[in-house]
């Protein structure tokens, strides 16, 4: 146990079997595990994962946010997390953003925010497993998992470690992103991960001067792709320059206060679907 083990050596067979049991029992205390993924980088996965976690926690659900992007952990930046994991009586607890929201990210374990993590696959697998086995998540309604783009070690480890994870796939409207998202859908089907649906992020922009909609990256690509691939569209989130500003400042939570924001209405719709469309 202990924070120092995270990122350490890979366990032997015995230790791995023991760890499997611990992981199983920890996951048994978490009702829903929502895995936010995408084939493409920069489409807003971390923002979507962080904002969903935040909104769910504000609705009174007990939420954990686990950032398995080991090379480019964004979650601590989005929430301006200054502290690290909390160790009490040799037990490692997530960083407490609020009463209802705990966060774990590799970014909290690196002293220097600009440090680069250079790891081969087995160490990444080991670190992600330890994010579950060695952390006292407690009883949660939701564990929201943010991942790096693509279908590499991190998503595969999540799929293999959390058999009842449900995927939310984030895309932007343009074909170059949709092409990669189709690969994410195929990945989920290959590893038997339930797909809750697709979120089209950066879907149109309201002109701040005249209010007219500008289709910066196009619009509706997510809907037609979802229909063609036989998955649900969970919602379309517009571009909001405030989201960039608040994300950069680490103040995402300040955006939730204005319920009339278009993004907040879009997120509300997505949350309603997440709550109602559970896979099991
Ligand atoms: N709806 C939105 N409106 C405006 N900006 C957004 C929106 N969603 C995300 N962004 C911005 O887009 C940028 C990329 O977002 P983010 O880091 O969440 O993407 P990502 O998919 O997690 O990237 P990576 O693949 O590197 O992990 C950030 O500056 C974020 O603030
Ligand atoms: Mg990210």
- What residue segments make up the domains of the chain, in order of their start? 3-276
The residue whose CA has the least distance to atom 16 of ligand 1 is 44
Which tokens hold the place of 168? 């939310």
The residue whose CA has the least distance to atom 27 of ligand 1 is 148
Considering only residues 25 and 89, tell me which one the structure prediction assigns the higher pLDDT: 25
Ligand 1 neighbour 70 (Cβ under 6 A): no
Number of helices (H), then strands (E), belonging to the chain: the values are 9, 11
The residue whose CA has the least distance to atom 28 of ligand 1 is 244
Ligand 2 center–CA 73 separation, angstroms: 7
Ligand 1 center–CA 1 separation, angstroms: 34
Ligand 1 neighbour 201 (Cβ under 6 A): yes
- Of 36, 37, 46, 255, the residue with max ligand 1 atoms within 8 A of its CB, to mutate for a pocket test, comes to 46
pLDDT digits (tens, 9 = 90+) for 157-187: 999 999 999 999 999 988 888 888 889 999 9
Ligand 1 neighbour 243 (Cβ under 6 A): yes
Instruction: Work out which ligand 1 atom sits closest to the CA atom of 47.
Output: 18
Longest dimension (CA), the chain: 65
pLDDT of residue 25: 96
Instruction: Please state, for a pLDDT cut of 70, what percent of the chain lies above it.
Output: 95
- Please tell me whether residue 207 adopts helix, strand or coil conformation: coil
The residue whose CA has the least distance to atom 23 of ligand 1 is 42
pLDDT of residue 128: 95
The residue whose CA has the least distance to atom 30 of ligand 1 is 244
For the cut 90, the answer to whether the pLDDT of residue 217 exceeds it is: no
pLDDT of residue 177: 80
Ligand 1 neighbour 66 (Cβ under 6 A): no
Average pLDDT over residues 193-210: 90
Question: Within 13 Å and on the Cβ side, how many CA atoms surround 252?
Answer: 25
pLDDT digits (tens, 9 = 90+) for 12-69: 777 888 999 999 999 999 999 999 999 889 999 999 999 999 999 999 999 999 999 9
Ligand 1 neighbour 46 (Cβ under 6 A): yes
Average pLDDT over residues 86-109: 93
- Answer for the pair 180, 40: CB distance below 8 angstroms, yes or no: yes
pLDDT digits (tens, 9 = 90+) for 232-260: 999 999 999 999 999 999 999 999 988 88
pLDDT of residue 210: 85
Q: Which residues contact 86 (CB under 8 A, 6 or more apart)?
A: 92, 93, 94, 95, 96
Given 3.40.50.300, 2.60.120.1440, 3.40.50.261, 3.20.20.70, which CATH number is that of 3-276? Answer: 3.40.50.300
Ligand 1 center–CA 267 separation, angstroms: 15
The residue whose CA has the least distance to atom 25 of ligand 1 is 41
pLDDT digits (tens, 9 = 90+) for 113-154: 777 777 788 889 999 999 999 999 999 999 999 999 988 999
12, 15, 19, 21: CA torsion to nearest 10: 120
């Amino acid at each position: 146990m202990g924070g120092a083990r995270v990122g350490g050596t890979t366990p032997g067979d015995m230790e791995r079997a023991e760890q499997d049991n611990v992981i199983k029992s920890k996951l048994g205390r978490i009702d829903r595990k929502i895995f936010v993924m995408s084939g493409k980088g920069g489409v807003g996965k971390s923002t979507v994962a962080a904002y969903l976690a935040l909104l769910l926690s504000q609705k009174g659900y007990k939420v954990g946010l686990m950032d398995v992007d080991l090379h480019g952990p964004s979650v601590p930046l989005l929430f301006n997390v200054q502290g690290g994991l909390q160790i009490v009586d040799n037990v490692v607890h997530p960083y407490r953003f609020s009463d209802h929201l705990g966060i774990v990210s590799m970014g909290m374990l690196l002293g220097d925010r600009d440090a680069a993590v250079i790891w081969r696959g087995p160490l990444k697998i080991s670190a992600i497993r330890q994010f579950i086995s060695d952390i006292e998540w407690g009883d949660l309604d939701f564990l929201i998992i943010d991942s790096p783009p693509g279908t590499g070690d991190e998503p595969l480890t999540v799929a293999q470690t959390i058999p009842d994870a449900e995927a939310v796939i984030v895309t932007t409207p343009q074909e170059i992103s949709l092409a990669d998202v189709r690969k994410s859908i195929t990945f989920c089907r290959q590893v038997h991960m339930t797909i809750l649906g697709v979120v089209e992020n950066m879907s149109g922009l309201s002109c701040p001067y005249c209010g007219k909609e500008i289709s910066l990256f196009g619009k509706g690509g997510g809907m037609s792709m979802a229909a063609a691939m036989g998955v649900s569209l969970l919602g379309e989130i517009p571009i909001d320059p405030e989201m960039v500003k608040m994300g950069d400042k680490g103040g995402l939570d300040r955006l939730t206060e204005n319920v009339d924001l278009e993004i907040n209405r879009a997120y509300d719709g997505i949350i309603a679907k997440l709550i109602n469309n559970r896979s099991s």
